[in-house]
A and B are shown apart, each in its own frame.
Chain A
Amino acid sequence: MIPAGLSLEQAPPFSVPLRFFLTAPWFLVLAGLLILWQGPGIFASRWSPATLALTHLFTLGFMAQVMLGALLQMLPVMVGAVIPRPRLIAALIHLPLTLGALALCAGFLFGAPGSFRWATWLLGLGFGVALTAIHLALWRAPVASGTVIALRCALVGLLVTVGLGLWLSGFFGWGWRLPVALAADWHAGWGLLGWTVLLVAGVAYQVVPMFQITPPYPPRFVGAFAFSMSALLAVWSLLAGGGWNAAARIAASGLALGMASFAAITLYLLGQRRRKIGDATLNYWRVSMVGAMAAAGLWLLARFVSAWAQAPQVELLLGILMVAGFAVGVINGMLYKIVPFLAWFHLQAQLFGRAKTPNMKQLLPDAAIRRQWWAYLAALLSLIAAALDPVLFSVPAAIALAASGAWLGFNLTRVGLAYRRISRAAGGAVAVPAGV
């Protein structure tokens, strides 16, 4: 008989990642409510304060939340890197990140420098702890696989994104004079391409071939992609900063093509999957990759159609395709594998032989996933429509987005509650965070 929990020594306690996963969906609900409250005007331009608040509900509240939680869970498994004091580290990331995202949105919505300052301290703390813990673990990783290289590049991307974000907060919170438009472009570029795309790629190199049983990503692509993207971003930043706009556009075109090729390869591999049975999470991957390709295509097209180049709708559409399409799609889909599996994994270790552990599909039935999928798809399509015709589509987009977030939150919470119930009944160590 194996004592409870022994086989988990490389994995952190369930509460470590779970707190992030159970918090994140509610930020999508907040985003939906914000659209409802602000009305069609929120789709006028990416620069309006309410739109900036909306953007950060997505990027900080949902994306960063899940991405950091998942990294704390996955680093030990994927790269053999152990993060010390996982519970303390998780608390020092989760709470400041959650409160900081709310404070930042309040700052944008109410134009309150005090809120921006709070957001600066809180987000500085949360990301500071995350970056330190994850950097240390990743640079000590015993092997330098394609995934490790992509994750290292992604973390550099996060570092630059956070640095620029804190710099921008100097403008909003303290009235510093700085080139806000340029800094915001850098911030968005590094956040979406240097951090999000590279993190997704690093994870995809492992999870797509293994969980869908597909051929591996082409080794030459894996070897070159992450580093080339980071280098191109740096070149683009310098060129854009120096005002060499034509040259900057060439570098940016390279970035768009790079991202599109990652998405295209992923779609191709998913088409080659040798698993013959349906998988409810495949839809999310496919839509996510199509979103990335559409964003790259739209960006490139807008370089040739002069009326589109600076059109606010094009910028909004790019943001919606990248954030609500690419990032939210793939994250939403992966949560449906991660959360039920971890619940099962921890329960099995606690119950070992004493009672039967409910399997992943008993913890979260496919039917529940498929229903939320339709809400997510409706939210994405109506957001795209709202960028083009806000008056008609902002209310449907708001409702669909809030519904899709709430449904995701409900589905995941249901797994967390089942875990707690079974774990308690078995007298195992209960490691679910307060508030679940």
Chain B
Amino acid sequence: MTAIAESLAAEHRCCDERFTATEAAAERGDAGRCREEFRRFQTAMELHFRKEEEALFPAFEQMTGNSMGPTRVMRLEHRQMRETLAEMRATLDRGDLEEFLGQSETLLILMQQHNVKEEQMLYPMCDRVLGAEATAVIDAMQALPADKPA
């Protein structure tokens, strides 16, 4: 079973696409477009975090009886990314595209090293541990409404 690994890795690629669109707008100096793309990027990121935190991680923790292991590290990294996204938004509101590009470079690496851990380790572990439950967890993740970012 690789259902969870496939569906969530695809979301990472989708966030990557939004990231590149945001970054490209910032480099062109198009602040309006950048704000628009960033809003979509941040919304996609937030929804992805919530799918993991509200559906996947609790199911994993329940099956393994371990809430202090890999999921805790992932939650902490989500928090680090949320913090960075909030800083980027503030920078964008000030219209400082140059600082924004420095922050986006930093976020990219933070985001990708996090994705490596999830795609290489956590998702395959989830698929193994959850087995037949995986479909139900994916349904629960899809059922989460896409909210505005916090």
Bound-state Cα–Cα, A134 to B56, Å: 32
Q: In the complex, which of the residues B27, B76, B77, B83 contacts A277, with contact meaning CB atoms closer than 8 Å?
A: B27
Interface residues of A in 53-97 (CB under 8 A from B): 77-80
Contact count A vs B, C-beta below 8 Å: 81
Interfacial chain A residues near B133, Cβ < 8 Å? none
Q: In the complex, which of the residues A9, A145, A211, A359 contacts B103, with contact meaning CB atoms closer than 8 Å?
A: A359
Bound-state Cα–Cα, A2 to B113, Å: 20
Chain A 295-321: CB-based contact to B (< 8 A → 1; otherwise 0) = 000000000000000000000000000
- Residue B36 at the A interface, CB < 8 A? no
- Residue B120 at the A interface, CB < 8 A? yes
| Chain B interfacial residues counted at CB < 8 A | 34
Interfacial chain B residues near A9, Cβ < 8 Å? 73
- Residue B79 at the A interface, CB < 8 A? yes
Residue of chain A at shortest CB distance from B91: A359
Bound-state Cα–Cα, A348 to B17, Å: 26
Interface residues of B in 101-146 (CB under 8 A from A): 101-103, 105-106, 108-110, 112-113, 115-117, 120-121, 124-125
| Chain A interfacial residues counted at CB < 8 A | 35
Nearest-Cβ distance from residue A241 to partner chain B, whole angstroms? 38
What does DSSP make chain B's interface, helix, strand, loop or mixed? helix
- Residue B67 at the A interface, CB < 8 A? no
- Residue A370 at the B interface, CB < 8 A? no
* In contact, B117 and A80 (Cβ under 8 angstroms): yes
Bound-state Cα–Cα, A274 to B22, Å: 12
Interface residues of B in 32-65 (CB under 8 A from A): none
- Residue A360 at the B interface, CB < 8 A? yes
Interface residues of B in 89-104 (CB under 8 A from A): 99, 101-103
* In contact, B116 and A77 (Cβ under 8 angstroms): yes
Known A143-B121, A210-B116: A360·B23 in contact at CB below 8 Å = no
* In contact, B102 and A359 (Cβ under 8 angstroms): yes
Interface residues of A in 361-420 (CB under 8 A from B): 361-362
Known A6-B76, A77-B117, A143-B124: A277·B87 in contact at CB below 8 Å = no
Most B-side CB within 10 Å, residue of A9, A10, A78, A361:
A361
Interface residues of A in 258-304 (CB under 8 A from B): 274-278
Interface residues of B in 3-39 (CB under 8 A from A): 16-17, 19-20, 23-24, 26-27
Bound-state Cα–Cα, A337 to B108, Å: 11
Q: In the complex, which of the residues B20, B103, B121, B125 contacts A276, with contact meaning CB atoms closer than 8 Å?
A: B20
- Residue A7 at the B interface, CB < 8 A? yes
* In contact, B20 and A275 (Cβ under 8 angstroms): yes
Known A211-B109, A345-B110: A78·B103 in contact at CB below 8 Å = no
Known A80-B121, A210-B112, A276-B27: A359·B17 in contact at CB below 8 Å = no
Interfacial chain A residues near B76, Cβ < 8 Å? 2, 6-7
- Residue B80 at the A interface, CB < 8 A? yes
Interfacial chain A residues near B80, Cβ < 8 Å? 7, 348-349
* In contact, A362 and B102 (Cβ under 8 angstroms): yes
* In contact, A276 and B23 (Cβ under 8 angstroms): yes
* In contact, B109 and A337 (Cβ under 8 angstroms): yes
Bound-state Cα–Cα, A78 to B117, Å: 7
* In contact, A277 and B102 (Cβ under 8 angstroms): no
**6 smallest beta-carbon distances between A and B, as pairs:** A361-B102, A359-B102, A210-B112, A7-B76, A276-B24, A277-B27
Which residues of B are interface residues toward A (Cβ below 8 A)? 16-17, 19-20, 23-24, 26-27, 73, 76-77, 79-80, 83-84, 87, 99, 101-103, 105-106, 108-110, 112-113, 115-117, 120-121, 124-125
Q: Could you list 12 examples of A-B contacts with CB < 8 Å? A: A142-B125, A143-B120, A210-B115, A275-B24, A276-B24, A277-B23, A345-B110, A348-B80, A348-B83, A348-B84, A361-B106, A362-B99
Which residues of A are interface residues toward B (Cβ below 8 A)? 2, 6-7, 9-10, 77-80, 142-143, 145, 147, 206, 210-211, 213, 274-278, 337, 341, 344-345, 348-349, 352-353, 356, 359-362
For the complex with contacts A77-B116, A278-B27, A348-B83, 7 further pairs of A-B residues with Cβ separation under 8 Å are: A80-B117, A80-B120, A206-B116, A210-B112, A274-B17, A337-B109, A360-B109
